[in-house]
Structure 1
Amino acid sequence: MMDDTKGQFIWYELMTGDPDGAAAFYGAVVGWTIAAHGDPGAPGGADYRMIVRSDGGHAGGVLALNADMLAGGARPAWLAYVRTPDVDAAVAAITADGGSVHMPATDLPVGRMAMVGDPQGAVFYIMNPIPPAGMEDRQSDVFSVEREQHFRWNELSTSDPEAAIAFYRKHFGWGQEGAMDMGALGAYRFLQQGTVGIGAVMPMMPGTPTPGWTFYIGVDDIDRAVAAVMAGGGQIIQGPHEIPGGEFSVNGIDPQGAGFGLVGPRP
Structure 2
Amino acid sequence: MTLTDGHPIWFELSTPDHVAAATFYRQLFSWTTRTSPVVEHGGYVIASAPDGDGIAGLMTPPPGAPPGGGWSIYFLSLDLAATLVKAGDLGGSVAFGPMDIPHVGRFAVLLDPQGVPFSVMQPSTEDPARPFKQADDAHGHAVWIELATPDPDAAFAFYGGLFGWTREGAMPMGEMGEYAFLGAGEARPGAVMSSTLTRAPQQWNSYFLVVDIDAAVATAEAGGGKLIQGPDPIPGGDYSANIVDPYGHQLGIVGPRKGGDAA
Same fold (TM over 0.5): yes
Give the SS at the match of 2:220.
helix
Task: Please give the per-residue CA displacement for 1:112-138, whole angstroms capped at 9, x wherever unaligned.
Answer: 11110111111111111122xxxx5x5
| 2:16 partner letter | G
Match of 2:7 in 1: 8
2:152 matches 1:161: yes
Task: Please give the per-residue CA displacement for 1:159-215, whole angstroms capped at 9, x wherever unaligned.
Answer: 000000111111001121011000000000001222111000000056848521110
Give the SS at the match of 1:250.
strand
Would the aligned equivalents of 2:5 and 2:76 in 1 still touch at CA under 8 Å? Answer: yes
Match of 2:207 in 1: 216
Match of 2:143 among 104, 128, 152: 152
> Aligned-residue CA RMSD in angstroms?
1.8
In 2, Cα distance between the equivalents of 1:5 and 1:155?
A: 19
Match of 1:185 among 173, 176, 185: 176
Match of 1:197 among 183, 188, 213: 188
Change (3 A) 1:33 1:79: same
In 1, Cα distance between the equivalents of 2:68 and 2:199?
A: 16
In 1, Cα distance between the equivalents of 2:229 and 2:19?
A: 26
Percent same amino acid among aligned pairs?
40
Match of 1:53 in 2: 49
The alpha-carbon deviation at position 74 of structure 1 amounts to 3.5
Give the SS at the match of 2:64.
helix
Between the two proteins, the alignment pairs up a number of residues equal to 254
Match of 2:105 in 1: 111
| 1:6 partner letter | D
In 1, Cα distance between the equivalents of 2:200 and 2:218?
A: 27
Match of 2:244 in 1: 253
Match of 1:232 among 223, 234, 258: 223
Give the SS at the match of 2:133.
coil
The alpha-carbon deviation at position 56 of structure 1 amounts to 1.6
Match of 2:17 in 1: 18
In 2, Cα distance between the equivalents of 1:46 and 1:99?
A: 30
Would the aligned equivalents of 1:121 and 1:210 in 2 still touch at CA under 8 Å? Answer: no
Q: Which has the higher contact order (CA 8 A, sep 6+)?
A: 1
Give the SS at the match of 1:162.
helix
Match of 1:41 among 38, 41, 46: 38
Aligned pairs for 1:79-118 (under 5 A) are: 79-108=72-101, 109-118=103-112
Give structure 1 stretches of 5+ with no counterpart.
none
